[in-house]
């Protein structure tokens, strides 16, 4: 399944940095998070051999490629970076133009921007497992209807059997990794969390702002585990997350979309903070649940998400989808 997570991170997970600054992906991190190191490193892609294009999008200007680096399977994600307002003056004055067509008041050019304004955001996952490769392949999706009984009899056993690793999450919470990327932390063991940029955001502009709040509590897998007892935790994440983003990025709460995924891409409670207007992966109604709605639902019914029928998309190659088919639920 895909979400932060990376859902496209990522689902839809989209990430990266220019080739000379490529970072190696962590093998225990199914969401492909980066360590945030900005230093120039060896170009690990100089010997990259392409095997296949897993998927691409002209609209989102990205491409997901499977290949090998030093005989190890790797997934490379290339994505054009957004044009920043603060670079427009240099972009116009420092670029070269090649005329393609002119008709009355309309003209079309090929603009060659200075190299530092023409970066390609690049993420490398190496060594990549079969799960990583399948995650980024273009696949047909199906909308699944999951009742309370389906969760107990199909979904939960599948989660337990697969033993999806969240060690990379614990590394963040314990400051063993990505400590320098943390924007805000509330260390309280019951309602605390860490807030840090999602790997899909290059942090160069707020138009595509994307941060993740990861709860310190370790016994909450997903939306299904939430009860009214967790309302203080959710309220704390919601309120302090908004305050931290306002202070750090000068973006008010009215410009934020704050939500949880179901199904998530990793089974440890986390909340997504994205800029309203940014079409973030997994922000559609079939997967995203606004945290304000989640809080109100739990206040009205303490067992709301324990008993409610939930709907979510699964890709054709997802093992959970196979389980639903085997049970005659699809």
> What are the φ and ψ backbone dihedral angles of 98, each rounded to 5 degrees?
-120, 115
Q: How is residue 151 annotated by DSSP? A: I
**Which residues, at least 6 apart from 113, have a Cβ–Cβ distance to it below 8 Å?**
91, 94, 95
Q: How is residue 267 annotated by DSSP? A: S
**Which residues, at least 6 apart from 278, have a Cβ–Cβ distance to it below 8 Å?**
207, 208, 209, 210, 257
Catalytic residue selected from 132, 216, 270, 289: 270
**Which residues, at least 6 apart from 26, have a Cβ–Cβ distance to it below 8 Å?**
32, 33, 35, 168, 177
- Please tell me the distance from the alpha carbon of residue 59 to that of residue 205, in angstroms, as a whole number: 19
State the greatest distance between any 2 C-alpha atoms of the chain, in Å, as a whole number.
Answer: 67
> How many of the other CB atoms lie within 10 Å of CB of 38?
9
User: 95, 113 in Cβ contact below 8 A?
Assistant: yes
Tokens of 259: 């939500």
Residues making up the binding site: 168, 178, 198, 200, 261-272
Dihedral sign from CA coordinates of 179, 6, 255, 233: negative
Q: Using DSSP, state whether 111 is helix, strand or coil.
A: strand
Beta partners for residue 287, in sequence order? none
Residues making up the binding site for substrate: 168, 178, 198, 200, 261-272
- Please tell me the distance from the alpha carbon of residue 132 to that of residue 75, in angstroms, as a whole number: 8
Active site residue 270: yes
Which run of H or E residues covers position 167? helix 167-173
Any idea which residues carry the catalytic annotation?
Answer: 270
């Amino acid at each position: 399944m895909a979400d932060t997570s990376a859902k496209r991170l990522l689902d839809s997970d989209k990430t990266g940095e220019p080739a000379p600054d490529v970072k190696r992906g962590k093998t225990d991190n199914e969401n492909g998070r980066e360590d945030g190191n900005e230093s120039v490193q060896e170009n690990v892609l100089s010997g990259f051999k392409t095997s296949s294009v897993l998927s691409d999008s002209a609209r989102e200007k990205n491409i997901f490629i499977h290949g090998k680096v030093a005989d190890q399977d790797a997934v490379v994600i290339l994505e054009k970076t957004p044009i920043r307002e603060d670079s427009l003056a240099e972009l116009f004055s420092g670029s070269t133009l090649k005329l393609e067509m002119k008709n009355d008041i309309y003209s079309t050019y090929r603009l060659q921007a200075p190299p530092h304004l023409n970066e390609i955001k690049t993420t490398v996952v190496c060594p990549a497992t079969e799960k990583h490769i399948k995650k980024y392949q273009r696949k047909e999706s199906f909308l699944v209807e999951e009742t309370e009984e389906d969760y107990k009899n199909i979904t939960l056993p599948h989660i337990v059997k697969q033993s999806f690793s969240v060690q990379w999450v614990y590394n963040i919470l314990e400051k063993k990794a990505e400590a320098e990327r943390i924007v805000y932390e509330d260390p309280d063991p019951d309602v605390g969390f860490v807030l840090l940029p999602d790997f899909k955001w290059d942090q160069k502009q707020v138009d595509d702002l994307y941060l993740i709040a990861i709860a310190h509590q370790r016994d909450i897998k997903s939306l299904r585990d939430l009860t009214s007892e967790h309302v203080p935790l959710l309220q704390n994440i919601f309120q302090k997350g908004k305050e931290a983003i306002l202070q750090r990025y000068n973006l008010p709460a009215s410009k934020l979309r704050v939500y949880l995924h179901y199904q998530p891409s990793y089974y440890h409670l986390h909340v997504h903070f994205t800029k309203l207007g940014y079409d973030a992966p997994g922000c559609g109604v079939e997967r995203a649940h606004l945290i304000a709605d989640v809080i109100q639902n739990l206040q009205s019914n303490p067992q709301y998400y324990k008993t409610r029928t939930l709907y979510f998309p699964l890709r054709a190659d997802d093992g959970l989808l196979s389980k639903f088919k085997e049970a005659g639920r699809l």
